[in-house]
Amino acid sequence: MAEKKKNELWEWTKALLIAVVLAAVIRYFLFAPIVVDGLSMMPTLHDQDRMIVNKLSYKVGEPERFDIIVFHAPENKDYIKRVIGLPGDTVEYKNDTLYVNGKAYEEPYLEEYKKQVIDGPLTDPFTLEEKIGRKTVPESHLFVMGDNRRFSKDSRHIGTVPFDEVLGKTSIIYWPINDIRTIE
C-alpha cells in the first residue's frame, strides 16, 4: 500500500514538473503576456489592455509595415508601437499624410483621432533625416510610431529600433473580457 502511494506521488510530481517546464518554454520562446502602459497607442490600444506577444513571428518571418510590435526601449521598459518604416525606407509626414519611399499611405487606425483634431495636424510634419539624421531607416532597424501621435514617445524621439530588441508581434487583446479582439 505504501508503495502505491509513493508511485502516485511520483507520478503527480512528474506531471507537475512537466507542466512547469512546458509553461516556461512556451512563455520564454513562443508567447508572453504584456500590459499596455499608457496612452501612446490610443485609440487602437487602451491603457491596461492585456495582450499576447507572439515571440515566434519574427523568428520565422520579417516585420511588415503597420505591424504592432513589442520591443525593449532604451529606458529598460518594453514599448508597444506600430512599424512605419522598414530597413532602407524613407519616411516623411506632410499635410498629416504618411509618405514612405515617396508613396502616400492611408492609416485607417488614425481616422478617429484625425476627426477630433481642430488645432493643426495629428502628426506634425517631419522627414526621417530631421528625426534620426539619416535619409533612410538603417539596415536591421525599424522606424516605429504610436497611434496617438501627439502623445507618443517613439522613433521620432528614441531613434530607430534594432531588430534584436524586438520581442515580437502583438495582435490579440485578451483582457478586459468585454474588449477581447484581434487588432490590425
What's the 3-state SS for the chain? CHHHHHHHHHHHHHHHHHHHHHHHHHHHHHEEEEECCCCCCCCCCCCCCEEEEECCHHHHCCCCCCCEEEEECCCCCEEEEEEEECCCCCEEEECCEEEECCEEECCHHHHHHHHHCCCCCCCCCEEHHHHHCCCCCCCCEEEEECCCHHHCCCHHHHCCEEHHHEEEEEEEEEECHHHCEECC
Q: Which of 4, 6, 14, 40 is catalytic?
A: 40
Catalytic residue among 55, 57, 81, 155: 81
| Residue 40 annotated to the active site | yes
Positions annotated as catalytic residues are 40, 81
